[in-house]
Amino acid sequence: HPHMVTPVIEARSVGTRVLRSEDPQLLRGRAEFIADINLPRQLHVAFIRSPVAHARITHLDLSAVRDCEGVYLAWSGVDVAPFCEGLPVESAMEGFVPTTMPLLATTEVLYVGEPLAVVVAESRYAAEDACELVDWDFEALPAVTDADAAVAMGAVANPQLPDNVGLRGGATFGDIAGAFEQADKVVQGRFYTCRVSAAPMETRGVIADYDWASKSLRLWSNTQMPHLLQSMISAHLGFGEHEVEIITPDTGGGFGQKAHVYPEEMLLPLLARELDRPVKWIEDRRENLMAGAHAHEQYVDIAYALDRDGRIVGVRTHALGDGGAYHMPPWSMVIEPWCATVMTPTGIYDAPAVEYTYTAVATNKTPVGAYRGVGYMAGTLARECLADDAARALGMSPFEFRRRNVVSTFPWTNPQGIVYEEGSWLESIDVLERMVDYPAFLRRQAESREEGRYLGLGLSFFVESSGESTAGSHAHGSKTVYHDTATVRLNPTGTANVTIGLSAQGQGLATTMAQMAADTLGIKVQDVSVQTARSTLHAYGSGTIGSRGAVIAGGAVARAAGVIREKVCAVAANLLEASPDDIEIVDGVALVKGVADVSVSVSDVAASIYFDMSAWPEGFEPSLEATQAYDPARAMFSNGAHAILVEIDAETGFVKFEKVYSVEDCGTVINPNIVEGQIRGGVVQGIGASVFEELVYDASGQLLTTTFLDYGLPTMDVAPPFEISHLETRSKHTPSGVKGMGESGLIAAPAAVLNAVNDALSPFGVVLRSLPLTPEKVLAAMAGGTGM
Ligand code: MCN
Ligand code: SMO
């Protein structure tokens, strides 16, 4: 996109710790989440969900439900099918086997929690009570409950995927066979990332309101992808796209789980139209743990061929993902194993040959979707934990092994042909080693072992493909095209309103986009108000995913503000009798460069553009509102590392977190407070996914963890203190040199945790490779001396 000229910004608020403009509402309880919204005449929705993992529906009678007091409607899959066959997931990837997820199951249920029927009543109580009266019968079918069983084909999980395979693929780059034949040493391992939930603080929710007179549908959803939802509703339910408005209120976290289109979001518009009443559904926590997209579950088998000097000469990796019962719209069950292999095999290492394969299989469990750094987490875990295994095998420090293999000259093209334009990969090793004071740690570790205390330090280095864009997607061999806009309006008083096409779930986009706009316009950040995509009627967006907000929304804001800035300069030049090229704007004042006392305020310029034609230069077009799109020309990679210090309680096997050291390089940091908050939150989610969290199924496919008593989220009492260093290798391709970083914490922390635990366990001669690192597992390793 060479035509996408972006203005050069003189940073004034970018890089400073501007306080989040979002927080006053959030902290004072004045935010408006979807559950807070109530429409006149609204009715309430509850779902009847499958209690079994896999069965044929032999009998389903809703008449008692319908007869229940306060019930307005009850529908089964048979009632819904004429309106919509379901949510199809297709892909241009060769060999991809599509599925269609019904809005309500019709003939078979494929996982516990799958929606079977929907009930609308005057209250949620009435709806839930009525759900109890369903009269049903099932004929049990064999349940496929893990990926290995799916491959073994003892039973079929979903008749739409007769081989249990959603997609199988792979590729080889360089002489991989030669690398392994000639290797001095081969290290390898099978790593397992357990099934978890993003568990956002706020569960999902939908409100639909249809007006038959104007044929307009308003749909409130706390989705990360409002425009995709609008398109899906139009394509699959027959509403006019121009007659659908998606409204995203304040949202309490999405983390990828809300980056999908769900059956519930498709059903509520149909119900509102049918009943001519607004309908509301707020997911409860049990539903969220059962039916919100699950995440992560996969095995990664990885091997390094090493030469005599400890250099990686080949990487072989295979990921086997447990995708659950359907492709999760729109990303499919493939993204988790695909990202774990295609996006991560080389990391920061100069490996000349790569081979990967990936397989996504169906099981009778909740569909797996996106969760912060989807697939990157498993791929990074495998690669970085194998790096520590290799260092141990070579008798080398883990820093030294990485220094020996790191790429240090840029641009670097990896064996897959992906170009990395810049990075502080070597520097991040040096900085992290200094931060942890490695020699001092080794002394402390040795001393404490003598007292029967087991300390461990684990490292993890990452490269995050951020600023997800058309170019980034194409570089990785997927064909997604992204489109995002922002609108900037300068008001007569010289303040600005900005609208972006991305909805926000807590990332602080309103604050950081105000910083981008303020610096481009040359005004104070307090004079900019940002509206994130609360309504699809305004700016357009492809979704708050793939750590793209800073780069993409930031780029669109800078471009739109750049258009306005030029107009301000043109009028200021006219008023000051200077050339527009000689005008600069500093702190809300337009000056003639090099002339001290010739100036006019931006507010006076803005007022005259609105109200005083005499100020305009010849042929001036007086709009002070601009909409621009942005999609960067190149794939964008940020990088960094974490070192995590743990101590294992030898009595209980409990992993205690003493300290996290983080190095982050996301180019120019727009707001250090926000970036550091993203690191802390992401790393603590990574600690959760490595030690505390697991969605557990029994052998019959029953989900056992449906409350926060059974599903262990990390809380403040396990969150350790952080020390964070910023490196700033600017991108040449984005306004201000910004790169994204919103997923890095969760991408990289689990590898550091596993490496730390294995470092602590090294006196026992065991290596663990399977998450979560529960006290039972750690104690068994200490007692038995075998790895698992
Ligand atoms: N930022 C910055 N300087 C940079 C890069 C980023 O100040 N050089 C700021 C951004 O302006 C933004 C935040 O850091 O305010 C994250 O930016 P970015 O990396 O661009 O990520 P996105 O804005 O696209 O957010 C999405 C990303 C993803 S994909 C997931 S998943 C995730 C994450 O952000 N979900 C979150 N962080 C989350 N944080 C919260 N609180 N809630 C979620 O649901
Ligand atoms: S998992 Mo983030 O929404 O890309």
Q: Whose CA is nearest to atom 3 of ligand 2?
A: 256
Q: What confidence score (pLDDT) does residue 26 get?
A: 95
Long-range contacts of 407-416, Cβ-Cβ distance < 8 Å, separation of 24 or more: 407/348, 407/349, 407/350, 412/350, 414/346, 414/351, 414/354, 415/173, 415/174, 415/346, 415/351, 415/352, 415/353, 415/354, 416/171, 416/173, 416/342, 416/345, 416/346, 416/354
C-beta of 674 in contact with ligand 1 (< 6 A): yes
Residue 490 has, within 13 A of its CA and on its CB side, a CA count of: 31
Q: What confidence score (pLDDT) does residue 2 get?
A: 41
Q: Which two tokens stand for residue 309?
A: 């000097």
Can you tell me which atom of ligand 2 is nearest the CA of 543?
A: 3
Can you tell me which atom of ligand 1 is nearest the CA of 546?
A: 29
Question: How many Å apart are CA 8 and CA 23, to the nearest integer?
Answer: 30
C-beta of 738 in contact with ligand 1 (< 6 A): yes
Question: How many Å apart are CA 372 and CA 750, to the nearest integer?
Answer: 13
Question: How many Å apart are CA 62 and CA 78, to the nearest integer?
Answer: 11
Please answer whether residues 278 and 272 qualify as being in contact, where contact means their C-beta atoms are separated by less than 8 angstroms: yes
Instruction: Find all residues with CB under 8 Å of 300, minimum gap 6, and list them.
Output: 190, 191, 192, 193, 317, 318, 319, 320, 340, 341, 378, 379, 381, 382
Distance 765 CA to ligand 2 centre (A): 37
Question: How many Å apart are CA 137 and CA 59, to the nearest integer?
Answer: 5
Q: What is the DSSP string of 176-204?
A: HHHHHHS-SEEEEEEEEE--EE---SS--
**Global pTM value:** 0.96
Q: Which two tokens stand for residue 122?
A: 């005057």
Instruction: Find all residues with CB under 8 Å of 128, minimum gap 6, and list them.
Output: 46
- The pair phi, psi for residue 47, each rounded to 5°, is -110, 140
Distance 547 CA to ligand 2 centre (A): 7
C-beta of 376 in contact with ligand 2 (< 6 A): no
Strands (E), 506-652: 528-531, 583-586, 589-592, 599-601, 625-629, 636-648
Distance 263 CA to ligand 2 centre (A): 19
144: alpha, beta or left? (left if phi > 0; alpha if psi -120 to 50):
beta
C-beta of 222 in contact with ligand 1 (< 6 A): no
Please answer whether residues 365 and 53 qualify as being in contact, where contact means their C-beta atoms are separated by less than 8 angstroms: yes
CA angle 669, 5, 726 (to 5 degrees): 10
Ligand nearest to the CA of 224: 2
List of domains in the chain: 23-31+483-526+544-629 (3.30.365.10), 199-291 (3.30.365.10), 294-473+633-784 (3.30.365.10)
Task: Among 222, 336, 464, 547, name the best residue to mutate to test ligand 1's pocket (greatest count of ligand atoms within 8 A of Cβ).
Answer: 547
Question: How many Å apart are CA 202 and CA 314, to the nearest integer?
Answer: 44
In whole angstroms, how large is the CA radius of gyration of the chain?
27
Please answer whether residues 726 and 669 qualify as being in contact, where contact means their C-beta atoms are separated by less than 8 angstroms: yes
Q: Which residue do the tokens 């635990």 mark? A: 757
Question: How many Å apart are CA 769 and CA 775, to the nearest integer?
Answer: 14
330 cis-preceded (ω within 30 degrees of 0): yes
- The pair phi, psi for residue 255, each rounded to 5°, is 55, 25
C-beta of 224 in contact with ligand 2 (< 6 A): yes
Task: Among 258, 551, 743, 747, name the best residue to mutate to test ligand 2's pocket (greatest count of ligand atoms within 8 A of Cβ).
Answer: 743
The ipTM value here is 0.99
CA angle 253, 254, 257 (to 5 degrees): 150
C-beta of 256 in contact with ligand 2 (< 6 A): yes
Distance 433 CA to ligand 2 centre (A): 30
Can you tell me which atom of ligand 2 is nearest the CA of 255?
A: 3
Farthest-apart Cα atoms in the chain, separation:
87
Q: Return the number of other C-beta atoms located less than 10 Å from residue 616's C-beta.
A: 17
Q: Whose CA is nearest to atom 37 of ligand 1?
A: 742
C-beta of 226 in contact with ligand 1 (< 6 A): no
- Helix pair angle (376-394, 335-342), 10° resolution: 40
Spans of the chain below 70 pLDDT? 1-11, 785-788
- Helix pair angle (263-275, 226-237), 10° resolution: 60
C-beta of 368 in contact with ligand 2 (< 6 A): no
Q: Whose CA is nearest to atom 25 of ligand 1?
A: 547
Distance 504 CA to ligand 2 centre (A): 12
